[in-house]
Amino acid sequence: MLSAQTTDVNVNKVTPALFEKYRGPEDYLAAPLEELERDIYATGFFRQKAKAIRGTMRTLLEEFDGEVPRRLEDLVRLPGVARKTANVVAAELGNAQGIVVDTHVRRLSQRLGLTRKDDPVKIERDLQRVVPRPDWARFPHLLIWHGRRICDARRPLCAECVLENLCPSSRLGASYDRAVNP
Interface residues with ligand SF4 (CB under 6 A)?
A: 111-112, 150-151, 156-158, 161, 163-164, 167, 169-171
Q: Which is nearer to ligand SF4, 18 or 150 (CB)?
A: 150
Q: Which is nearer to ligand SF4, 115 or 170 (CB)?
A: 170
Residue 96: Cβ-neighbour burial (10 angstroms; 0-12, 13-18, 19+): buried
Strands (DSSP E) found in the chain:
none
* 23 vs 155: CA distance, rounded Å: 43
Rounded to a whole number of angstroms, the minimum distance from the CB of residue 32 to ligand SF4 is: 49
Going by C-alpha positions, the residue among 58, 32, 36, 56 that lies closest to residue 46 is 36
Q: Which is nearer to ligand SF4, 70 or 171 (CB)?
A: 171
Rounded to a whole number of angstroms, the minimum distance from the CB of residue 108 to ligand SF4 is: 7
Contacts of 149 (CB under 8 A, 6+ apart): none
Q: Which is nearer to ligand SF4, 41 or 176 (CB)?
A: 176
Rounded to a whole number of angstroms, the minimum distance from the CB of residue 114 to ligand SF4 is: 11
Residues involved in catalysis: 84, 102
Rounded to a whole number of angstroms, the minimum distance from the CB of residue 112 to ligand SF4 is: 6
Going by C-alpha positions, the residue among 48, 52, 42, 47 that lies closest to residue 6 is 42
Helices 103-111 and 120-130: crossing angle, nearest 10°?
60
- Tell me which DSSP letter residue 39 carries: H
